[in-house]
Amino acid sequence: MEGLGVARPSTHIWRLLKWGRTLARHGALRGIESDPNTPAPIKRLARIARFGTRQPDTPDYAGAFRDIGPAAIKLGQTLATRPDLVGEEAARNLLMLQDNLPPVDFAEIRASIEASFEQPIEALWAEFDPVPIGAASIAQVHRAVTTGGRQVAVKVLRPGVREQFARDISTYEWAAAHLESFGGEAARLRPRLIIANFKRWTNRELDLRREAASASELAQHMVGTAGYEIPGIDWDRTNGRVMTVDWIDGIKISNTEAIRAAGHDTAELASRLVLAFLKQAIAAGFFHADMHQGNLFVKADGTIAAIDFGIMGRIDRRARMWLAEILYGLTTGNYKRVAEIHFEAQYVPSYHDVDEFATALRAVGEPMRGRPVSELSVGQMLDGLFAITRDFDMQTQPHLLLLQKTMVMVEGIATQLDPAINMWDVSAPYVRSWIRDELGPEAALADRIREDTGTLLRIPELVRRIEERFPPKGGAPEAPPLPKVELMWERRRRKARGRGMLGYAFAAVAGGLAAWAATMQGWIG
> Does 230 fall in a domain?
yes
Tell me: do 292 and 183 sit in the same domain.
no
Tell me: do 121 and 238 sit in the same domain.
yes
Tell me: do 88 and 233 sit in the same domain.
no
Tell me: do 122 and 90 sit in the same domain.
no
Percent pLDDT > 90 in the chain is 26
Catalytic residue flag (residue 265): no
Tell me: do 256 and 235 sit in the same domain.
no
- As a whole number, mean pLDDT of residues 475-488 equals 62
What long-range pairs does 367-370 form, CB within 8 A, spacing at least 24? 369/333
> Does 375 fall in a domain?
yes
170 close to 58: Cβ distance less than 8 angstroms: no
Which of 184, 215, 247 terminates a domain? The answer is 247
Tell me: do 239 and 334 sit in the same domain.
no
Which of 409, 436, 461 terminates a domain? The answer is 461
Among positive and negative, which fits the CA dihedral 492, 495, 496, 497? Answer: positive
Q: Of all helices (H) and strands (E), which one includes residue 156?
A: strand 151-157
Choose, from 290, 308, 383, 418, the residue flagged as catalytic: 290
Tell me: do 69 and 91 sit in the same domain.
yes
> Does 93 fall in a domain?
yes
Tell me: do 303 and 450 sit in the same domain.
yes
Tell me: do 94 and 106 sit in the same domain.
no
> Does 237 fall in a domain?
yes
The domain that contains 237 carries what CATH number? Answer: 3.30.200.20
Burial class (CB in 10 A: 0-12, 13-18, 19+), 329: buried
- pLDDT attached to residue 129: 96
Q: What is the DSSP string of 110-139?
A: HHHHHHHHTS-GGGTEEEE-SS-SEE-SSE
> Does 219 fall in a domain?
yes
- pLDDT attached to residue 113: 95
Cβ contacts of 247 within 8 Å, gap of 6 or more:
143, 151, 152, 153, 231
- Helix, coil or strand: residue 415: helix
The Cα–Cα gap between 354 and 338 comes to: 10
The Cα–Cα gap between 148 and 124 comes to: 9
Cα separation values, 19 from 24, 29, 44, 52, 353, Å? 9, 11, 15, 15, 43
The Cα–Cα gap between 99 and 96 comes to: 9
Which of 438, 461, 484 terminates a domain? The answer is 461
Tell me: do 72 and 134 sit in the same domain.
no
- pLDDT attached to residue 442: 47
Domain tally for the chain? Answer: 3
**What digits encode the pLDDT tens for the residues 330-369?**
767 788 888 888 888 777 888 899 999 889 888 877 776 6
165 close to 71: Cβ distance less than 8 angstroms: yes
Tell me: do 421 and 454 sit in the same domain.
yes
201 close to 311: Cβ distance less than 8 angstroms: yes
Domain that residue 286 falls in: 249-461
**What digits encode the pLDDT tens for the residues 360-378?**
888 877 776 655 445 656 5
> Does 498 fall in a domain?
no
**What digits encode the pLDDT tens for the residues 370-420?**
554 456 565 566 666 666 776 787 766 666 667 777 887 888 888 889 888
Q: Which of 59-73, 100-114, 491-505 has the highest mean pLDDT?
A: 100-114
Q: Please give the model's pTM, rounded to 2 decimal places.
A: 0.69
239 close to 211: Cβ distance less than 8 angstroms: no
Tell me: do 320 and 392 sit in the same domain.
yes
pLDDT at 313 over 70: yes
Burial class (CB in 10 A: 0-12, 13-18, 19+), 450: exposed
